[in-house]
Amino acid sequence: MIIKSIRLNNIRSYKEKEIILDLGSTLLSGDIGSGKSTILLAIDFALFGLSKGIITGEAILRHGERQGSVELDFSIDDKKIRIKRSLKKIGDTVSQDSGYIVINDELFNLSPIELKQRILELLNYPPEILTKKSLIYRYTVYTPQEEMKLILLGKKEDRLETLRKVFNIDKYKRIQENSKILSSELRLRIKEDELFISDIENLKKEKSEKIILQDELKVKILTIDKELRTLQTNLTNKKEELKSVEEKIKLFNELKKELELNELNLKNNSSRFEVNKQNIEKLTREIKEIENDELKEIDMDKLYKNLLVYRNKLSKVDGELLEIRKSLNESKYSYINSEKLIKEISYLDECPVCLQKVKEDHKHNILGKEDAKIKDLSENIKIYTKKENDFIKDVEIINQEIEKLNELKSKNELIKLKIRNLYEKKNNHSILLNENSNISKITEEIKNKNLIIASKIEGIGDVKYDQLKNELNLLLDDEKKLLVGISILKREVEVCSNNIILLNENLLKKEDARRKIFKLKGFRSFVDDDFSKVIETMEKKVMLRVHNDFNELFIKWFNILVDDENISVKLDEEFSPLIEQSGFTTDYIFLSGGEKTAGALAYRLALNQVINNLIVHIKTKDILILDEPTDGFSEDQLDRLRLVLDELNIKQIILVSHESKIESFVNNVIRLNKKEGVTELL
C-alpha cells in the first residue's frame, strides 16, 4: 500500500486542503498544534471510519461546521484506489455519512461498514476485525508513540493478551479453553444420558397397562353412543315443534313493533304539519310586506358610464393642477433667488473671484435686470395662484358628483338584495305547501296499515311456548350429560393413545441414548488427553518463534538508537523489556526520556517487522507512519534515527516531528503552520 494524496474538508484545523505524499521518507514538520497528527488521524479515519476510543466524529470534525470529509488516494499492487468518508452533525452528535470507493475507475457507493469491509479485503486483513479495533494496522502502520509507551508501562497480563491478539496466537488459548468447555459438556451429557435411560424397564411395563385401559374405554363409549342416538331423535322432533311456535311469536312481535312505529310516525307527521302551517302563514305575511315596497332597479350601465366620465375628468384636472403647482413653485423659487442676488449685489464692492473693484454702473445694470425679472415673476405667481384655486374648485365639484353616483350604486344593491329575499321566501312557501300535502297523504296511508296489522295480531291466537320450552330443556340436559360422558371417555382414550405414543418415542430415544453413551466416553477421552496436548505444543512453538524474532529485532533497533555500552536490553518470556544498566537490572520507567522513547520506538519497529513476517499476505508492508518518534531524543539519537530509516528499507515512511534536524535526512518535507485556527502548507 502506497499513499498518494489526502484531501481534508472541515477536519479539525483544516478547512479545505490537499496534501501530496511521495515515496521515500516524508516529514510532516511544524510547531506543536499545527495539525501534523490530524493528517495521520484522517488517514486512519478514511481507511477504517470512526472507532470508539480511537477516532470520534466530535474529535475530528472542525468546530462550528455541520459537515466534513476525508478523501484518500492510494495504490495496492496494480490497483488505483480512492476512498471518501463523510461526517455530518445532527444536533450535538457527529456521525458517519455514506461514502464511496473507486477501484480502477469503478465507483462503489457504500455505507460506512461496507467501506470498512471492502478496505479489509483489499488490505488482506482478517475479516473478523470488521467490528473491532484494527490491531494489525495499529501495530504495523500507525501507532501514536504515547500508546506504545503505555503498552510498555502497563500490566504484563494486558500486554501479553494484546500481543496474542496482534499475532493471532490467541486462537490457541481459545481452543484450549473451548476444549475444557467441550470436555465438561461431554461429561455432563454422559451423566444426563445415564440418568435418562435409568427407567427404561418401568416404561415398558407402563406401556402394556395403558393398552389394556384403552380397550376397556372404547367398549364403554359404544354403549353410551347407542343411548345418545335415541335421545337425539326425540330432541329433533321437539325442536321442530318449538320452532313453529317461535315463528308465530316472532311474527307477533314484529307486527306489534310495526304498529308502535306507525303510531310514532303519525305523531311526528302531525307535529311537522302544524309547524309547516305556522311557517306558511308567516311567509305569506312577509311576502305581502315586501311586495308593497316599490322595488325598481337602476340602470347600472348608465351609472357606470357617468362614473367613468367623472373619474376621467378628475384624473385630467388632477394632472393639470399638478403642472400649475409645479410652475408656481418654480416662479416662487426664481423670485427668492432674484431677491437674494439683488441684496448681495447692493453691498458688493469687490469681485470675490478676481478681487477687482465693482463699478456702480455695472451694479445698476445687474440690479435693473433683476428688478424687471422680479416684476415678471410676481405677475406669473398671481396668474398661477388663480389657476390653482380654479382647479381646486373643479376637483371639489367632480368629487361631489362621483359621491352621488356611488350612493345610487349602494341603493341599487339594497334593492337587488330585497328582490332576492322575496324570491327565496316565495320558493320556501311553495315547498312547505307541497310538504304538507304529502304529509296528509302519508298520514292516511299509515292509518290504513294500522287497521290491517291489528287484524293480523288477533289472528295469531294463544301459544303453549313455556310448556314446550321446559320439555326441550329436559331433553337437552339429558343429551348434555351423555355428551359429557362420551367426551370424558374419548378424552381418556386420547390421553391413553398419546401416552402410548410418547412411551414408544421415549423408549426409542432411550435405546438410542444407550448406544451414544459409549461413543461420548471415547470422544471425551480423546479431547482430555490427546487434543489438548497437541494444541499446547503448537502454541509454545509459535510463541517461541515469535519471541525469538521479536527479541532479536528489539535488541537490534534499541542498540542502533542508544549507543551506550552500559545499557543492554532483551525481552522476557512475557514480552516485557528487561533492562540492565551498569550491571544492575532496572525498570523501564527509570530510564531517561530519550531512552524511554528509544525503547518504545524499538519495540514498535520490532513489532512491525514480526507481524509483517508472520502474516505474509497483508498489503501494508510498504508503509510505516511514525508519530513523534523522537520525543526527548538527544542530537546523537536524532542522527541515529537516520540509520534506522535507512535500515528499514520501506518504500514509504511518514514521520511527524517538530525537530528541524530530521529535515536534513528525509526525502521530502511538508511544512505546516496554523494561523487563526486554520492550518496552511508553507
If one counts the domains in the chain, the total is 2
Are 11 and 68 in contact, with CB atoms under 8 Å apart?
A: yes
Q: What's residue 68's pLDDT?
A: 95
Judge whether 177 lies within some domain.
no
Count CB neighbours of 409 within 10 A: 14
pLDDT at 425 over 70: yes
pLDDT digits (tens, 9 = 90+) for 133-184: 666 777 778 876 566 666 777 677 777 777 776 776 666 677 777 887 888 8
- The mean pLDDT of 185-201, rounded to a whole number, is 82
Confidence at residue 144, expressed as pLDDT on a 0 to 100 scale: 67
Task: Flag whether pLDDT at 252 surpasses 80.
Answer: no
Terminal Cα distance for the chain, rounded:
27
198 pLDDT band, cuts 50/70/90, is confident
CATH number at residue 48: 3.40.50.300
Which span out of 146-160, 317-331, 434-448 was modeled with the highest average pLDDT?
434-448
Q: What's the grid cell of residue 208? A: 402394556
pLDDT-derived band at 15, boundaries 50, 70, 90: very high
What rounded mean pLDDT belongs to the chain? Answer: 83
Task: Decide if 8 is inside a domain.
Answer: yes
Q: 161 versus 205: which is more confidently predicted?
A: 205
> From the centroid of its chain, how far is CA 5?
33
Nearest to 655 by CA among 49, 5, 39: 39
Q: What pLDDT shows up at residue 148?
A: 65
Q: Which residue has the cell 438410542?
A: 512
Side chain identity, residue 530:
D
Residue 438 CA, chain-centre distance (Å), reads 66
Give me the pLDDT at residue 7, please: 97
Per the domain annotation, does 126 fall within a domain? yes
Lowest mean pLDDT among 122-131, 370-379, 393-402, 451-460: 122-131
What pLDDT is recorded for position 62?
Answer: 94
In a domain, 552, yes or no: no
pLDDT-derived band of residue 104, with 50, 70 and 90 as boundaries? Answer: very high
Share above pLDDT 90 across residues of the chain, in percent, rounded to a whole number: 17
Q: Which of 207-211, 362-366, 594-598 has the lowest mean pLDDT?
A: 362-366
The CATH number of whichever domain residue 426 belongs to comes to 1.10.287.510
Predicted local confidence at residue 544, as pLDDT:
80
Per-residue pLDDT, averaged over 216-234, amounts to: 83
CB atoms within 10 A of CB 363: 15
Domain end position, chosen among 432, 460, 488: 460
The answer on pLDDT for 6 being more than 80 is: yes
Question: For position 86, what pLDDT does the model report?
Answer: 95
Q: According to the model, what pLDDT value does residue 610 have?
A: 84
pLDDT at 485 over 60: yes
- The pLDDT score that the predictor gives to residue 107 is 95
Domain of 97, in residue numbers: 1-141+620-682
For position 526, what pLDDT does the model report?
78
Compare 532 and 95 and report the one with higher pLDDT: 95
CA distance 36 to 657: 8
Which pLDDT value is given to residue 352? 62
> Is 581 domain-assigned?
no
592: enclosing H helix or E strand:
none
pLDDT at 388: 78
| Strand order, beta sheet including 577-581 | 567-571, 577-581, 584-586
Position 233 pLDDT exceeds 90: no
The answer to whether the beta carbons of residues 599 and 558 sit under 8 Å apart is: yes
Amino acid identity, residue 246? E
CA dist 373 and 40 (Å) reads 90
Residue after which a domain boundary falls, among 396, 426, 460: 460
* The pLDDT of residue 101: 96
pLDDT for 132 beyond 80: no
User: Per the domain annotation, does 680 fall within a domain?
Assistant: yes
Q: Does residue 215 lie in a domain region?
A: no
Q: For residue range 496-522, list pLDDT tens digits in order.
A: 888 888 888 888 888 888 888 888 778
C-alpha cell at 89: 452533525
At residue 80 the predicted structure's pLDDT band, cuts being 50, 70 and 90, is: very high
Banded pLDDT at 39 (limits 50, 70, 90): very high
Q: Classify residue 89: in a domain, yes or no.
A: yes
Helix (H) or strand (E) holding 99: strand 93-103
pLDDT digits (tens, 9 = 90+) for 358-401: 677 777 777 778 788 888 888 888 887 888 787 788 778 878 87
**Phi and psi of 584, rounded to 5°?**
-120, 140
Angle of helix 532-561 relative to helix 593-614, nearest 10 degrees, comes to: 140
pLDDT for 579 equals 87
Least confident residue range of 71-75, 77-81, 216-220, 622-626: 216-220
- Confidence (pLDDT) at 9: 96
Which pLDDT does position 673 carry in this prediction? 92
**In the prediction, which pLDDT does 355 show?**
61
> pLDDT: is 635 or 411 the higher one?
635
Of residues 127, 125, 154, the one with CA closest to residue 140: 125
Of 155-169, 241-255, 489-503, 579-593, which gets the smallest average pLDDT? 155-169
Domain boundary among 460, 492, 508: 460
All three cell numbers of 571, joined, read 525481552
